[in-house]
Amino acid sequence: MKGQHSEKGATLAVVTMVVGALAVLSVCALTYTMLIAKNVRRTNTYREAVSTGDGALQHAFAYWRETCRQRTNIFRPGKDFAALTPPTTAMFNLIPGFTASTGANPANGTPYTIANFKIEVVTPQYLPCDQNAAAPTGTGMSVGSRSAFYKASADVSLPTSSGFIQVKLRQIFEKQILSPWNYAIFYADDLEIHPGPIFTVSGWVHSNSNVYTGHNTLSFLSKMSYGDNWKIGFSPLENTHSGEVPANPSYPSNLPPTREQGQQPYGLDAQRIFSTTDTNPNNDSYREILDQAAVGYPDPFTDITDPDNPRKARYYDQAGVKIRISGTNGTTVVIKNAEDTTITSSSTGNDKLLYDMVNAALITNQNIQDAREAATVRLTTLDLSKFYTALKPGGTMSGAAFNGVVYISDTTAAAASTSQRRGIRLKNGQFIAAPGLTIASDNAIYIQGDYNTGISPPSNLTGNANDPTKPTGIVSTGILYNKQPCAVIGDAVMFLSNAWVDSNSSATLSSRDASNTTINTAIISGIVPSGSNGTNYSGGAENFPRFLEDWGSSAVLTYYGSMIELYKSRYHISPWGGSNVYSAPIRKWYFDTLFYTAPPPGTLDLVLYKKGLWYNE
């Protein structure tokens, strides 16, 4: 019996131990499960807090960008964002008891859901600044390019079972004002590049819209970016390349084409600002930069200027001299100074010198046939050798008040018939005086012969015609010409070679032989977009400057500059691709790095609003 009792006791002890162990394990498991559940809840609450803070920062970004757009060409001081309103309950209606404040959380009691909601100016190193000080000047790596930085804050507190989960989210916003002359090719609209012969682009390339590249003869040596999409193929709006098999372009293996945000000229959002259906003639497109503003209507290109630091957008307003041509034969000429005051041979002082320079350079009522337009073009020619003689050191205008910007317009262009056109010709432009020259017109502009190259230019030197390292010629024995920053801005821009002869302009293509020509200038020109005339091809960036000659198989066009497309042509609107117009030159085209340190005279900005560093402080 004793043995039986001992055995039963041992069994009971074992059972008790097992039950105890299981109880302990159950408690541990329950405790662990509760701990896991608590951590999961905290993690989910943390994620919700981060998501809430991120939403608040996006609200801050929208307010910041909208405020900056009201004065697009300057940087705003921190005090300009003091009216930032915190997010509302409606924005976060799934958070019970949502509250928000621009101030700090109370020292005691329940914190706000979102506190410390604000935007502040910071240094490029993201350090605090005086928010009541003047606007930041901005910093940049090249002339005409600069950035200012702002820090948005949102402290988020969400309740948990044991208190509150808190995150302090910060994000850096950057307003960047960028010179478009940093680009070899910049398009506001669709960019198409489909060269036949080998075509190499040495600088940056960007389109705010789509990029189409369909030929493997194209090479990008630097970055290529786009605002919408990049397609290895052809625009669905044209059929010139119908049946062709698209091929990849070449680009650096470490720098593939990439999407970037739109870069708005003058900071004006085309989709919000421009309209061709309202009664306002001043807000139709970026082409407004070529027009004089119509009186009595709001002008977005004027509204962006800062009264304390004006940076005028329209080239008419920027110009140091303004030339208006009118009359039946285009022989009525009015010349005005920068203040829009008419100057004449009877003027005195600087105005008299300015008038004499311009009057000597003008040749009116010349006519050529433009084969692409299939129309006669009445030209006003500017003999730029007269400008150089007056502006060079020792010239009559040397040291005089002239900013290097010329606006010229034949005002009868809109009234011309479809068989007639108006244009401006730039001739004898081998020499340009410092600090450079920008010529703008709402007409088409024809650049004839070597431009900004000096005498004995490389295009005429035996053995140098194909040497892209020699874009300038000899000034005197052993001294090369120092090219100046230049820009030519028009409704359309045509390149005419050194061999161009007016009397041959109406002859067949075989009688319009071109010769080697070198042109050193940036250009802004309109295009005739693909699909605007049936299923036409725009001609692409390879034909952005237009041609009217037979360049044969050996004539070289050497070009150093920057090509900017912002608008559709208004007057020179015949599509690319007609017969008897031109045969293409051998293109030796290069981005002019001179523009990094010395952009052309005048003002042209691109504005970007960027979201930068995001972090939990």
With respect to residue 614, please indicate whether it lies within any of the assigned structural domains.
no
Of the listed ranges 31-35, 196-200, 227-231, the one predicted with least confidence:
31-35
Summarize the confidence of residues 337-360 as an average pLDDT: 97
pLDDT tens-digit readout, 127-184: 998 888 877 777 766 777 889 999 999 999 999 877 899 999 999 999 999 999 999 9
Given 177, 203, 221, the domain boundary residue is 177
Q: The whole model's pTM is what?
A: 0.88
pLDDT at 463: 44
Output the DSSP codes for 454-505.
-BS-GGGSTTTTT-TT--S-EEETTEE-----EEEEESSEEEE-TT--GGGT
| Tokens read off for 587 | 């293109």
522 pLDDT above the threshold of 60: yes
Query: Are 362 and 387 in contact, with CB atoms under 8 Å apart?
Result: no
Instruction: Mention every residue, 6+ apart, whose C-beta is less than 8 A from residue 479.
Output: none
Range 6-19 burial, b when 16+ CB lie within 10 A, else e: eeeeeeeeeeeeee
With respect to residue 612, please indicate whether it lies within any of the assigned structural domains.
no
Asked if 172 and 203 sit in the same domain, the reply is no
Asked if 141 and 241 sit in the same domain, the reply is no
Given 177, 196, 226, the domain boundary residue is 177
Chain centre distance of CA 260: 12
Grade residue 341 by pLDDT with cuts at 50, 70 and 90.
very high
pLDDT tens-digit readout, 531-578: 999 999 999 999 999 999 999 888 989 999 999 999 999 999 999 999
With respect to residue 398, please indicate whether it lies within any of the assigned structural domains.
yes
pLDDT at 480: 83
Strands 606-616 and 264-265: antiparallel
pLDDT at 6: 58
Name the more confident of 5 and 10. 10
With respect to residue 251, please indicate whether it lies within any of the assigned structural domains.
yes
Q: For 93-162, where are the E strands, in sequence order?
A: 114-122, 146-160
Grade residue 269 by pLDDT with cuts at 50, 70 and 90.
confident
End-to-end CA distance of the chain: 76
pLDDT tens-digit readout, 172-187: 999 999 999 999 999 9
Asked if 172 and 192 sit in the same domain, the reply is no
Given 126, 159, 177, the domain boundary residue is 177
Summarize the confidence of residues 399-425 as an average pLDDT: 94
Give how many domains the chain has, as a whole number.
Answer: 2
With respect to residue 615, please indicate whether it lies within any of the assigned structural domains.
no
Range 389-427 burial, b when 16+ CB lie within 10 A, else e: bbbeeebebeebebebbbbbbbbbbeebeeeebbbbbbb
The type of residue at 187 is Y
Asked if 540 and 396 sit in the same domain, the reply is yes
Other C-beta atoms closer than 10 Å to the C-beta of 163 total: 8
pLDDT tens-digit readout, 301-323: 876 655 555 568 899 999 999 99
Asked if 414 and 517 sit in the same domain, the reply is yes
* Residue 600 DSSP SS3: coil
Q: Cα 155–161–165 angle (5° rounding)? A: 15
Query: Are 169 and 614 in contact, with CB atoms under 8 Å apart?
Result: yes
CA distances from 175 to 73, 111, 172, 431, 460 (A): 10, 33, 10, 38, 46
Strands in 332-337's sheet, in edge-to-edge order, are 258-259, 224-226, 204-207, 183-187, 563-568, 522-527, 486-490, 437-440, 405-410, 321-326, 332-337, 342-343
Asked if 101 and 217 sit in the same domain, the reply is no
Strands 163-178 and 183-187: unpaired
89 pLDDT above the threshold of 60: yes
Grade residue 81 by pLDDT with cuts at 50, 70 and 90.
very high
Work out whether the CA dihedral 381, 384, 389, 393 comes out positive or negative: positive
Asked if 533 and 418 sit in the same domain, the reply is yes
With respect to residue 611, please indicate whether it lies within any of the assigned structural domains.
no
Strands 163-178 and 606-616: antiparallel
Range 520-559 burial, b when 16+ CB lie within 10 A, else e: bbbbbbbbbbbbbbeebbbbbbbbbbbbbbbbeeebbbbb
Asked if 385 and 481 sit in the same domain, the reply is yes
Summarize the confidence of residues 324-352 as an average pLDDT: 96
Instruction: Give the mean pLDDT of the chain.
Output: 90
Strands 191-193 and 114-122: unpaired
pLDDT at 12: 62
38 pLDDT above the threshold of 70: no
pLDDT tens-digit readout, 220-248: 999 999 999 999 999 999 999 999 999 99
25 pLDDT above the threshold of 60: no
pLDDT tens-digit readout, 439-472: 999 999 999 999 999 987 777 654 454 566 678 8
**CA-closest candidate to residue 443, choices 608, 330, 307, 282:** 330
DSSP 405: E
Asked if 161 and 270 sit in the same domain, the reply is no
Site of tokens 């030209």:
379
pLDDT at 271: 86
Full residue range of the structural domain in which residue 307 is found = 180-606
C-alpha–C-alpha distance, residues 52 and 92, integer Å: 8
How buried is 479 (Cβ within 10 angstroms: 0-12 exposed, 13-18 middle, 19+ buried)?
exposed
**CA-closest candidate to residue 571, choices 393, 375, 304:** 375
Asked if 370 and 506 sit in the same domain, the reply is yes
With respect to residue 252, please indicate whether it lies within any of the assigned structural domains.
yes
C-alpha–C-alpha distance, residues 339 and 320, integer Å: 8
Share of the chain above pLDDT 70, in %: 90
Asked if 205 and 83 sit in the same domain, the reply is no
The type of residue at 570 is R
Q: For 304-370, where are the E strands, in sequence order?
A: 321-326, 332-337, 342-343, 362-370
Asked if 284 and 368 sit in the same domain, the reply is yes
Grade residue 367 by pLDDT with cuts at 50, 70 and 90.
very high
18 phi/psi in degrees, rounded to 5: -65, -45
Q: For 123-162, where are the E strands, in sequence order?
A: 146-160
Other C-beta atoms closer than 10 Å to the C-beta of 240 total: 19
With respect to residue 358, please indicate whether it lies within any of the assigned structural domains.
yes
